[in-house]
Chain A
Amino acid sequence: MKKTGKFRPAGFHQMCMVMKLCTLLLTATLSQVYAGGIAQNVSLSGRDLPLKKVFSEIKRQTGYAFFYNYSLLKEAHPVSLNVKDAPLTQVLTLCFADQPLDYIIENKTIVITERAGKPLSAEGQERRIPEPVVIKGTVTNDKGEPLQGASVKIKGAKTGTSTDAAGAFTLKVPPHSTLVISNIGYQTQEVTVDQEQTIKIRLLPAPKAIDEVVVTGFGESRATRGLGYSVTQISGDQIREANAVDPIVALQGMVPGLQVQPGVGGPSASPRFLIRGSSSLDPYGNTPLVVIDGVILDNQSVLPNKGGQYGSSGDFGNILKDINPDDIESLSVLKGGAVTALYGSRANNGVILIKTKRGYIQKGVGITFSHSDYVDHPYKTLDFQTQFGSGFNTSDFDTSSTGQLQINPNSYGVSFGPKLAGQTVLDPGSGLPMKNVAFNPLSLYQNGLTDNTNISISGANDKTTFRLSYSHLSANGITPNNELKRNSIQLHVTDKLASHILVDGNVTYVQSGTLNPALQNGSSPLYALSYDVATNFNLPYWSRHFIDSVHGGANQSDALNVAQGILYPLYENRDYLVENNFRGSIQLTANILPWMDLLANVDGNLYNRNETSDTRGTGPGFSNPGYSASVNVLDQFRYNASLYFKKAWSKNWLASLQTGGEVFTSENTGASYSTNGAILPDIYRLSNSKNPPNITEASPQDAQISSLFYQGSLQYANTYTLNFYGRNDWNSSLVYNDGHGVYSYFYPGADLAWVFSDALHLPAWINFGKLRFSFNQSGNGTNAYTANTGSYQANNPYQTSTGSTVNSYSYQSNTLPNQHLVPEKSTKFETGLEFKVLHSRLGGDVTFYTQNTKSQIIDFTVPNVSGVTSALLNGGLVRNRGIELTIFGTPVKTKEFNWVSQFNYTLNRNKVLSLPFGVTYQDLEDGDGIRTIAVKGGDYALLVGQYAYARYQATDGNGNNANNPLNGQHVITMADGAGGTFPIYQRALNYGTNANTKEPVIGSTLPSFLGSWRNSFNYKKLTLSIFLDSRLGGLEYSPTLLYGTQNGNLKSSLFGRTAALGGVAYTPVANTASYFGAPSTPRQDGIMLKGVFQQGTMATGTDGTSRNVGGMTYAAAYKNGWVQPVDAPDYYTATYDWYSGIREAGTFKSSWVVVRDVSLGYDLPATWAAKSRMNSLRATVSVRNPLYLYNNAKDHINPDNQNDSGSGGAFDAGGIPYIRSYGFALNASF
């Protein structure tokens, strides 16, 4: 029944023609290039090589033919050669030294002749190639400390080396060579060497750090001075210092414009990270692209955590945990649009570019060893109250049949009961005596231990570099049975295949296993302990007795269902994910002509996930176990080839152009299966399925993007640089099944960098200044198959009670299809200023950007009464506009002490300028009567709620809105309780008169700004760094907070319970009531509401008379004796409960200042290291997240507790305790 149309719309033929022409042109150009590009340099090495063999090798390498009389060669003796990339003539001279032979080159033929006269000796003057001399040396900085990785090159030649960790190098050079020694941030030095010698070079810091180089674009290093957009580069060491399993988590607070929030599932968890806010209205479509050595990780492997509010399974994390920080050389965050020309539309949300380490030339083979341990110490949860136990009121004890004091079973689970005084009481579930004290929620958690060991071997000669690295990481999370193990092996090889061809190959294989990530939502222990229990729940007992010791299975006698529902699964279930990730890339750079390179690369990312979930049976004898499993295989490949032209026309003009094509393919297959009922306990296999197991197969999600692109630059005097870009994508996701669709889109861009400090005559104290402007566009497709929405799909076969099978079909989705999708389009503008002043002691980078994304392809929610729940639309305009600021400096600098400081500031305003189709809101995430939405004309992620507080609005006699000073205050109404009514806050839904007042805006979930401050103090060999991180603003909603307050378990529910805690004394009168039916004796726990009574509200006063108090404030009515206080249990229950409570009361502004990291490093003395035959040895102790200096969260909810990595996430789901991590690391190199 499946049909694929053959229909080709007009224009298709022309388009194919254009593409064919482009390809043809490209092929022709490249072929020509080869014809003229025969190399004339030779690399040869070997001892006692017969000349014949040498000739054939030279022929192979150069294409030059030899012409000679065979008898001549009989006279010749073998030669020993060791030349690298040497000119042909030079090699020939070496070959014929001391030989009775000579040669002439005619055209492309080398004619060997008999030497007339005495053979030239090796000492001959004319053609003698002097024997190379060995130069050894060390390179240090101005303080005499060794510089690793400094470049040592022979002037005028391409050969060279770089220094090892001890700053040492060894290089064979022709005598009288000039060595050029350079290192980033230092002044380049030249040294002339005549004979074998050992030299010491001391590099002085560059007066102006104008030669800073960053990794950009396709991974090439470029001088920042020529970049017209903002890049932040972080070194691998900085990432490793953070002691995070996942390198993205380590970036928290480090990069202006990048917002990172770690996940809550444990070491494996998915971080939420956004560059310059959210541009897509799909809340999960804003993940930046991560590129490792050319291998692209997109949102099919950097999977979002769609925890939402109701999903309960743990967060296993995504491919980011399969990136080994030990292998990272550098990480660049490319924020602007320029990279989209290179990585295509998927780079629309910015790119995080990771370059891994490679080998470098050193004595023999270098070995580095590093080991780090860190302990995750859970030190605090949200604030539980510890003063009152279970019950409706302070005298709510029960007496058992044996006359013992007992927790009242009828009010068990609400903590407004008697004071906790350590008395002996009976547990209502077990019937056993227990001490009446508050439980310690932290006792469920444990210290987590992570240890990571890395060994790497690296080496190089002048042809080849290699680095082989193996890491083993083992981490125990703070929740019971949570583990992560990771083995990672990487080989990175670069090789000069020939003098002009460089191959850079990289293979990485990572296997990780994750067990039991921390469960969230209803299964989260912290959520359950806030919501479902009483403060004096016997946690110590039940966390040992959750199994029915007699019958097996879950112990059903816990009346609060915590033992069965939380503890049993926590300790008995096993959710396990194994990931295999193979990443490989081969990049080839061929220098075809001095001014032209050919670049080609093939990259692959193979990522598979195998998840199994063993749910232990809770029934007697552990009956009814559950088992489910899934496999998922993602295969993504990228093939890219381009030509790179570079030409300097004069001293001042330099131009480059890169042009090429790319094909990216992606396929994602998978299946999941589960048992359907079980036969035996504790067997977790499909073979244990009682009924035919459930099996589903996922669609392959095939997608392909083919592209042609160019990028170029034009530089004048190293001062003005114009970069320009362009790319055309042909995107399969925009092609309909009949072949129509706008699937080709072009996007251009350009940026300009102006180093005005070079161009203008500025005061001497200004060392460097640069202005930059960047303008870019990019297009984007959508997900595989989205365009072809609207088809049918088979349902699982239905098995009738009589055993026959019935097949059926239904629509694949409730989304209205759209046959006219066009590509999304983003436009980005950015301008920035970089400067360094006062001998570069102070510097900064300020960026202003604005970016608009329009024609978004989005499922918009439509009224379901129409028969569909959403419509696939193509529109909307989202704008991000902001400022990024970095200020860095060296406030103190003496011979032995310096203080380096850096301050980052990020401000982003994320607005929705328009939505299509007359839509005014787009749902981002929702649930529980509160949701985040993108509002036309408003913020991207506003929190709104039908269950927010109603806002008072006075009306005039005609029912029209009237001005009134009380407008906007919370509205109070009366609720039915036992025996009468009592005042409660009114929900907006029940009060408002229109959409805006029935579901009012509570506030924005986006932070006002982010800021961080890093300080590093260096004294001799000691380094102390202190890193502060902060966020201001952005609402969060926490059901843990709401329901924990409702049930009296959290600290904020203490207010008003007794006179000492602020309670008002009163005696309830007749016809007032309470939810719990409290006795009408004098009490001390009155709470007054704050707000205005809803129009027409009747309240019973202290005189027992019922009056209309509508329009009065509570305070005024109380003053008149027309209303009574509400007793504390009723106040908390009514305000915070699920049925009638105010969700807004569970929100808070997430503002905080945290000490993110403090670390102390010490370089052990070189002599000490040398004694133990090491090149260097460094020890570091650190503590991550030691304390919050300021935290605005109500009841100190952990600000990191968001269980969703999407842009609409603002919801806590139980979360985890606060964690302080103590780390110790040792790095040694041999």
Chain B
Amino acid sequence: MKQIRSHLYILNAFAFLTLFSCSRTKFAELNSNPDAVLSIKPELELTSGQTQMYNNSFEAFYDFYEYIRPWTQLWVGAGGNSGSTGLFNSVANGDVRYNNFYNNVGPPLADVQHLISVMPAAEKATYVYLYAITGINMAEYAFYTSDPNGAMPYSQAFQARYTGNLTPVWDTQEAFLDTLDSQLKSYVATLETPQPVAQDTAGTNDLVFQGSTVKWIKAANSLRLRIAMRLLKQNPSQLTTVANEVLSDPIGLIDNTSDEWVFTGGVNFEGSGNSNQNWNPLGQGNECLEKHVVDFLVSTQDPRIRAILQPAAINSQAMFDSAQAQGQIPPSVTWNGQLYQGQYASPDSANAPNNSFYLNNLKFSFNGVAQSVNFPSIIQPYILYAGYNSGSGFNVFPVITYADVCFMRAELVIRGLSNDPMTAQQLYTNGITASLQDYDAWAQLAQTPNYTPLAAGEITNYLSQPGIAFQASTSLEQVLVQEYLNLYNNCNEAWALIKRTGYPSSSGVIMPLENITLGGNPVLMPRRYEPVYPLQGDLNYNNAVNAINAELSLPGYGAANDITGKVWWDE
């Protein structure tokens, strides 16, 4: 009987369990992820969007290291560009920014603005500035994405969560850049308008400016100027209009290095050691700088060379002689005495007789020690990847620096496209000064080993060097060359500079680059990405294909897969 009773207990207990084990309340609780949060303050998402703007290691690996740096001759591989020109024909796995914008950057930023827009009026009133600040971030990344991509969805993008629109149409690049300009203009106006209630501007959740409205106003004005500069070919008069607007703005443009739009990565932002080799600029092999650039940096005693390049391995006449005696360097070559050496970027230069020692690993014995070295200098990895070799410094991700603004303004003055109160030379000098100070600061921040900081007098010395000292006759090229050098850490803008101005150029007189040829035929620099063809079954197939077809009808765009074609602003 006792047993049976115990069975009864089991059964009753079971019945009880069934009865109470399927209540909705209990199930709702079970099915709610304890890590899930249903509502958040908008500034918490601003941080997410901002980190996603800078932390994409695939973009570093593919777009920056594999493509844009070699295309713009900011880099040349230690093996040169010999053999083939595949590097200039393909952008496979590139254009990471496109999906990064739509998958990672846009959604949180759009959500910040959405959360603010649906707030009760009283709360909403405290977020007026944050709405604008978020919009400036969004505009910058949108511009950055469109820059080599042309038309893309923007005005109807990111609406799936709010309106259910899964099929946004594309905006043409022209319309798109106009939209960005007017948005930025209105954000500046908002931020310059005093608000009746105290504003929550995100504080430390704003990783760039910690909620400083003044800095965001300067950043937005500077971004307007950068976007307008892209109109140099298509619409110079609009460029002038925008330039004069931002110059006359009460707060104006970025006017010192501490107000620069430069994102400083936090602890281990790019990982270290083995954790993320994508950021490691030497992860795919040794990289060098182009020979003419290095020769220019050496001859002008540019202090920035210490931040971006390691000294060459062959650093004495005796060592050079050893390598030569052991057949590693042709007998006809003499040592130029430079502590830094560049690399040939043109396949034909590399293939020229007697140049192969630039490309090969040189194996020889010096003072009884076996050497296995490259003749050209290898780039300094730390300023791009402070985690190199377990380093514990920090990296910067410059968006718009004070130097950038100075050089843009100087260019406009020289071209006569603005009413700038300053002279081109003043701006040029300020730009160089800011740039040298920036690179010095960045190299120190990255804890670059054996780095010698900028010494007193070095800037003055540099400004007096031939090719650097401002000369009216070569001023435009000088400004553009300096902007190019200044953009070493921001290769997308260096690429845009070449597309926009043609400088630095192989026909230049200040710092002529190599003429890149293969078999005597010019090798063209790619200028844009391939349009993203929708896959089978894409719900937005028609909008995407219509947009691509419209792009294809632009005169300079070329065939879809011809990456030497041009997007609208570049034509």
Contact = CB atoms under 8 A, between A and B. Distances in A.
Given A704-B21, A806-B207, A1077-B83, A791 B165 contact: no
Interface in A991-1028: 995-996, 998-999
Contact of A641 (B10, B102, B533): B10
Contacts of B92: 1138-1139
Given A918-B539, A921-B535, A995-B536, A793 B37 contact: yes
B122 interface: no
A30 B11 contact: yes
Contacts of B4: 34, 37-38, 590
Contacts of B3: 497-498, 501
B158 A867 contact: yes
B390 A995 contact: no
A144 B329 CA distance: 91
A801 B48 CA distance: 17
Interface in B252-281: 264-268, 272-275
B35 A862 contact: no
B21 A787 contact: no
B150 to A, nearest CB: 14
B390 A736 contact: no
A785 B536 contact: no
A401 B86 CA distance: 30
A1075 B29 contact: no
Interface stretch (B39-47, B187-195, B402-410, B432-440): B39-47
B168 to A, nearest CB: 5
Interface string B64-80: 00000000000000010
B40 A735 contact: no
A293 B32 CA distance: 32
A423 interface: no
B32 A4 contact: yes
A678 interface: yes
A623 interface: yes
Nearest to A16: B23
Interface in A590-608: 590, 598, 600
Interface string A691-719: 10000010110111010100000000000
User: Which of the listed residues A2, A662, A998 has the most CB atoms from chain B within 10 Å of its own CB?
Assistant: A2
Contacts of A625: 274
B297 interface: no
A804 interface: yes
Nearest to B206: A806
Interface string A751-794: 00000000000000000000000000000000011011011111
B537 interface: yes
Contact of B267 (A663, A702, A793, A801): A801
A990 B533 CA distance: 10
B36 A663 contact: no
A364 interface: no
A685 to B, nearest CB: 15
A788 B84 contact: no
Given A866-B158, A1076-B83, A700 B34 contact: yes
Contacts of B539: 862-863, 917-919
A801 B265 contact: yes
Interface string A846-882: 0000000000000001111111110100000000000
Nearest to B274: A626
Contact of A27 (B12, B274, B387): B12
A739 interface: yes
User: Which of the listed residues A38, A922, A936, A998 has the most CB atoms from chain B within 10 Å of its own CB?
Assistant: A998
B82 A810 contact: no
Contact of B44 (A737, A807, A867, A1076): A807
Contact of B30 (A409, A703, A816): A703
A691 B265 contact: no
Contacts of B377: none
A557 to B, nearest CB: 7
Interface string B530-559: 000111111111001000000000000000
Contacts of A626: 273-275
Contacts of A791: 33, 36-38
Contacts of B110: 867
Contact of B47 (A808, A922, A998): A808
A676 B108 contact: no
Interface stretch (A5-13, A354-362, A1197-1205): A5-13
A960 interface: no
A34 B8 CA distance: 8
Report, as a range, how many residues of chain B touch the other chain.
Answer: 35 or more
A739 B537 contact: no
B268 A677 contact: yes
Contacts of B327: 401
Given A691-B272, A1139-B90, A799 B267 contact: yes
B107 A867 contact: yes
Nearest to A786: B31
A673 to B, nearest CB: 13
B394 to A, nearest CB: 4
Contact of B538 (A63, A809, A995): A995
B560 interface: yes
A871 B1 CA distance: 58
Interface in B147-191: 152-153, 157-161, 165-168
Contacts of A699: 33-35
B536 A743 contact: no
Interface in B1-36: 1-4, 7-8, 10-12, 14-19, 21-36
B372 interface: yes
A677 B273 CA distance: 6
Given A624-B274, A944-B536, A999-B536, A785 B22 contact: no
A784 B27 CA distance: 10
A661 interface: yes
A862 B29 CA distance: 30
Contacts of B8: 30-31, 34
Contact of A863 (B82, B89, B538, B561): B538
A160 to B, nearest CB: 24
A809 B40 CA distance: 8
A1099 B271 CA distance: 50
Contacts of B111: 811
A933 B107 contact: no
Contacts of A979: 518-519, 521
B31 A865 contact: no
B166 A808 contact: no
B166 to A, nearest CB: 5
A142 interface: no
Contact of A919 (B33, B168, B537): B537
A1192 interface: no
A867 B536 contact: no
Contacts of B537: 861, 919-922, 933, 935-936, 995
Contact of A866 (B37, B159, B518): B159
A588 interface: yes
Contacts of B28: 4-5, 735-739
A785 B108 contact: no
9 contacts: A1-B37, A557-B372, A619-B390, A785-B33, A793-B36, A801-B265, A868-B160, A990-B561, A995-B537
Interface of A: 1-6, 8, 12, 16, 19-20, 23-24, 26-27, 30-31, 34, 37-38, 60, 63, 401, 409-411, 431, 497-498, 501, 557, 588, 590, 598, 600, 615, 617-619, 623-626, 639, 641, 661-663, 676-678, 690-691, 697, 699-700, 702-704, 706, 708, 730, 732-741, 743-744, 784-785, 787-788, 790-795, 798-801, 803-804, 806-812, 814, 816, 861-869, 871, 917-922, 933, 935-936, 944, 946, 976-979, 989-990, 995-996, 998-999, 1073, 1075-1077, 1138-1140
The 3 closest A-B pairs by CB, nearest first: A921-B537, A808-B47, A867-B158
Given A663-B21, A691-B268, A816-B161, 13 more contacts: A27-B12, A30-B15, A63-B1, A401-B327, A501-B3, A639-B14, A699-B34, A737-B31, A799-B267, A806-B207, A809-B37, A867-B106, A871-B166
